[in-house]
Amino acid sequence: MRRINQIQAKIYQENERVATNSDRYVKIALLMPLTVSRTNASAMPLDQIEHALQGAYTALVRANHSQAIGDSGRQIQLILANQGSRQDASDRLMNKIRGESEAEHPLLTVIGLGSSVGSTATLVESLGAKGAEEERIPMVGAITSADTLTGKPGFWSVSPGNTQYVQAIEHYLSARADLKSAVLVQDVNEDPYTASLAAGFQTRLTRYLHFPPQTYHGGTLDQPATANDFAELVTNVCTAANDREHPLDTVLYAGRMTDFGAFAQALAVKRSCSSRLTVLTAATGFASARRFRPVIDHAKLDVFFASPANPAAWTSVDARVPGSVGAPVPAGFTEFLRSYKAHGFPVEDLNDGMAIAHHDALATAARAIRLGTDDHEPPSRADLHDRLSRLVLAFKVNGASGTLSFPKTAQGRAVGRFIPIVQLGRETQPAGLPEKFTPYEVR
C-alpha cells in the first residue's frame, strides 16, 4: 500500500497545482478498486491497482504539462473514486462522484470502471443513462471487455470487446496448422466477461470444437476456486487429449485469471494427458498468471492470450527487428514509455497491461475534452458525448497501446489497433508463431 499511497499523493499534488495555477480546469474521475480486503480475495490485486495508478498519473502529467494530448490550456484534475475490494456500484458512490462537479470546474467523465463484473453494467446504466441529459456522465473503460457493455449509452472503452479478442484468436489459429482440435472450458457463474468470451468462442471457432463444453463454477471473492473444483473437468480434458479420431490439442479458456492456477494445478495432479496442450484465452492483465508458471510447466501447458498490449516485447531489444515479436510497436508507445520512466516507475510493471490501459483511458477522455474551440466556457457532458465519437481521422488518440479511433459504427470500442497474441513466460519471443506473423487489426 505504501507505493500506492505515494502515487495517490502525487495525483493530489498535481490537482493542487492545477487549482492554484489555473482557472480553466475540469475534472475526470478515476473509478476503480483502490483498496483490497484483508481477509478475502479482492476484485483487483494490489499490484494491478498500483500499475493502473501509474498509467493514469503518467497520462495526467502528459496532459497538463505538454501538448501530447491536446491543448494543455484546459487543465485537468483527476478525482480518485474507490470502488473497494468488491467493485461497489451503489447509488451512494455514484452520487459522491456527481457531487465532485462544480459549475466552473465540472466533472465531465469517468474513466477506469474496474473489471467487467455484474456491477459494471449497473454503474454504466446509472452514470450513462439515468437522469436528465446534462446529468449523464460519459465513461471511458480501461479493461472492460464484456460484450454486454458494447453500445451502452455513454460507454466508450480503450479495451477490445470479447468479440474482437476472439477474432484475434481466430486469426492466430488460422496461422497455426498444428492446432486443430479444441474444447471450451467455461466458468458458468453469472459473469458477463466469461459468458461473452465463451459465446464468442462458440460462435466463431465452431470448426475447432470437437468436444462438449466443459464447465465449472469459478471462484468468488468469498470462496476462491481450488484444484478440486476442476477434478472431473480435467478428467474429461485428458480423455479428449487421448482421443484417437480428434486428439485434443487446444483449450479455449473462458474463465478468470484468478481461477487459472487451480485449473493448471488440477491438470498437473492428473498428469494423464498424453501430450502438451495449448491454452488460448483473452484479457488485459492475464500476464499476471505468470506467478503460476511452475504448475503450468508441470501441467505441460503452453498458454497464449489475446491482449491489447505486449509491453514485454515492445520494450525488448528485439522490438525493432521486423517479424521478431509478431506485433508492431505502436507509434505512441515510445513517448509514453519515456514519460512513464521519468516518474521512476519500473518498466517491468508495464507487463500486466494495466498502466497502458489506464493511461489510454485518461488520454482518450482528455483528447475529447480538448476537441472543442471555445476557450472560455468548459464543455458540457453532452458536448463530450459528441466529441468522443469524433475522435477519428485527424483527431485519433495517440495512445500507448495504439493509435485509437472511435467511430460511431464501433459502438464505443476503439478501432485502428492491433491485438497481439502473447505467450505466458515467452512474451518477447512466442513459440509457434509463423515467421513475420502480424496480429489481428481491429478496423
Residues 369-399 have pLDDT tens digits of 999 766 678 899 999 999 999 999 999 999 9
Q: How does pLDDT run across 154-168, given as a tens digit for each residue?
A: 999 999 999 999 999
pLDDT of res. 428:
63
184 band by pLDDT with thresholds 50, 70 and 90? very high
Q: What is the predicted pLDDT for the residue at 318?
A: 55
- 78 shares a domain with 38: yes
- Cell representation of residue 230: 476442476
Residue 317 has pLDDT above 70, yes or no: no
C-alpha 225/C-alpha 97 separation (Å) is 34
Enumerate residues 6+ apart whose C-beta is below 8 A from 124.
113, 139, 149, 152, 154, 155
Q: Are 13 and 61 in contact (CB under 8 A)?
A: no
Length of the chain: 443
Mean pLDDT of the chain: 92
Is residue 341 domain-shared with residue 270, that is, in the same domain?
Answer: no
Tally of structural domains, the chain: 2
SS3 380: coil
Q: What is the CATH classification number for the domain harbouring 187?
A: 3.40.50.2300
Residues 155 and 189 in one domain: no
Our CA dihedral for 379, 369, 442, 260, rounded to 10 degrees, sits at: -110
Does residue 68 sit in the same domain as residue 196?
Answer: no
Residues 338 and 235 in one domain: no
Which of 200, 202, 191 lies closest to 225 in space, CA to CA?
Answer: 191
Of 406, 409, 384, which Cα lies nearest the Cα of 393?
406
Same domain, 198 and 258: yes
End residue of a domain, out of 307, 338, 371: 307
Total-model pTM: 0.95
Return phi, psi of residue 54, to 5°: -60, -45
Residue 34 within any structural domain of the chain: yes
Alpha-carbon distance of 182 to 195, in angstroms, equals 18
Asked whether 269 and 128 are in contact (CB, 8 A), the reply is: no
Longest dimension (CA), the chain: 73
Q: Is residue 433 part of a domain?
A: no
Q: Is residue 316 part of a domain?
A: no
Quick one: 34 and 168 in the same domain? no
Which residues form the domain of 294? Answer: 163-307
Task: Inform me whether the pLDDT recorded for 1 exceeds 90.
Answer: no
pLDDT digits over 32-84, tens only?
A: 999 988 877 777 999 999 999 999 999 999 999 999 999 888 999 999 999 99
